Structure 1
């Protein structure tokens, strides 16, 4: 058997290549792990927006996960866009059946351009079926509020939201502060709550719209690092450094919210 770390991303396809499974696979490759996929939806999108979403049939989603689980040694799974409650329940049933060691959930709800990527009734299903299985969850501020009903504006509210998510079964919560209304701040702050510790991560805030796929990339990097056997804290810190490099070295592609630079971090090392 190969000793190459192997990962699975269960997410939507982004035809623009900046987010979704495309961003995940690029990140996996750059972090030295082999990535496999189970596609939940095909989208027509670019840096300007999302123009069409076609969910994949449930039987096909299950067949993809089954094919991967029966042939590859998956050490960590990243879950991204699920779209609706039926797909959420389908994915949850497969997670229950195959018992992958570690699961990183990026609760994708809204695209950078504003398009909804998760139906409202699906939020309840996500909390009920997927959260209890998650090793790490990585909501941004709007997603944390949508999940918990708590508006995160400071350390106290961040802890309240995180502890609620942990009560629902998540082990480690990373609340990303990049969507903070305080855009004039020179620092972007993330809050991390593990079962045994809590800390913050800071990075310089860069005034750029080249941020399409940041959430996907960040969570995919955590997944890759976990698959390599790194601790949750190590994985999160590496992912923070990785996404900071990806944002601060833009590719300047497209005419809207451009994709991040997935090879910038390796260039800096």
Structure 2
């Protein structure tokens, strides 16, 4: 995969930091760079984590998060915005306000709720805020099955369920939904890109690997990079999907738990 022919593409990432480097802001920045874009950040929280799990979360004050984003937008600018870990209602409300200020910039919303190791990254009372405030502002929403179930109240256990939940999320206002199938059982993994005009299926054999930390962050940031570079939605998602599959396959094998991906595989020729 090469991205040298694409325009740079500026991506503002609004998300939490991962001290282990496999997910969150760190994975986002690696992904944007690997695909030829330029990443800037507004950090919503500092987490204490490694491949074994999250052991601490320190939220950044809401006004500081907004100030970070506005500093970037007023100077460097952005061609796409990607949101990840938001944490609580106040942060969701603040980020929604930022998206309104930058309404001409497409937003890829990753509704992060739980870390790979099981730690909660979104307060229960913030789920309704994500539903009402973030989904309608999404050019692309990228939920996994548990996140889609929490947002819609529907069971998501197979492809029909994925499609049903995706339709419900479109009804809630998302302009497009990428229903990720990694949490759905089966030998094949099916991701479903849904828009009001049609669906696209991305399907592959399930990789037998424990190195899946940060796959959701990585996929959403890769999608945002493609959009920032002017790709149409289906092409941006296809590029992002292929990038994540190879990043999993060539994972460096670090850590004792859910290991990180090989974000830099595109840079080695």
TM-score bracket, normalised by the shorter chain, equals over 0.9
In the TM superposition, residue 100 of structure 1 has moved relative to its aligned partner by 4.4
Query: 3-state SS of the aligned residue for 1:250?
Result: coil
| 1:66 aligns to 2:67 (yes or no) | no
| 1:81 aligns to 2:82 (yes or no) | no
Hey, what's the Cα distance between the residues in 1 that align with 2:183 and 2:163? Answer: 17
**Number of the residue aligned with 1:208:** 209
Query: 3-state SS of the aligned residue for 2:168?
Result: helix
**Number of the residue aligned with 1:111:** 115
Q: Which stretches of structure 1, 4 residues or more, deviate above 4 A after TM superposition?
A: none
Query: 3-state SS of the aligned residue for 1:189?
Result: strand
Normalising by the residue count of structure 2, what TM-score does the alignment of the two structures yield?
Answer: 0.95
**Number of the residue aligned with 1:90:** 94
Hey, what's the Cα distance between the residues in 1 that align with 2:210 and 2:104? Answer: 35
Which region of structure 1 is more displaced relative to structure 2, 212-221 or 151-160? Answer: 151-160
Query: 3-state SS of the aligned residue for 2:79?
Result: strand
Query: 3-state SS of the aligned residue for 1:164?
Result: helix
Hey, what's the Cα distance between the residues in 2 that align with 1:220 and 1:94? Answer: 18
In the TM superposition, residue 266 of structure 1 has moved relative to its aligned partner by 5.0
In the TM superposition, residue 194 of structure 1 has moved relative to its aligned partner by 1.4
In the TM superposition, residue 5 of structure 1 has moved relative to its aligned partner by 1.7
Paired residues in the alignment total 263
**Number of the residue aligned with 1:4:** 8
Change (3 A) 1:204 1:263: farther
Match of 1:30 among 15, 31, 34: 34
**Number of the residue aligned with 1:225:** 226
Normalising by the residue count of structure 1, what TM-score does the alignment of the two structures yield?
Answer: 0.95
**Number of the residue aligned with 1:148:** 152
**Number of the residue aligned with 2:260:** 259
In the TM superposition, residue 112 of structure 1 has moved relative to its aligned partner by 0.7
Which region of structure 1 is more displaced relative to structure 2, 190-199 or 41-50? Answer: 190-199
Query: 3-state SS of the aligned residue for 1:38?
Result: strand
Cα RMSD of the aligned pairs, angstroms, is 1.2
Change (3 A) 1:255 1:100: farther
Query: 3-state SS of the aligned residue for 1:70?
Result: helix
**Number of the residue aligned with 2:142:** 138
In the TM superposition, residue 66 of structure 1 has moved relative to its aligned partner by 0.9
**Number of the residue aligned with 1:129:** 133
Query: 3-state SS of the aligned residue for 2:75?
Result: coil
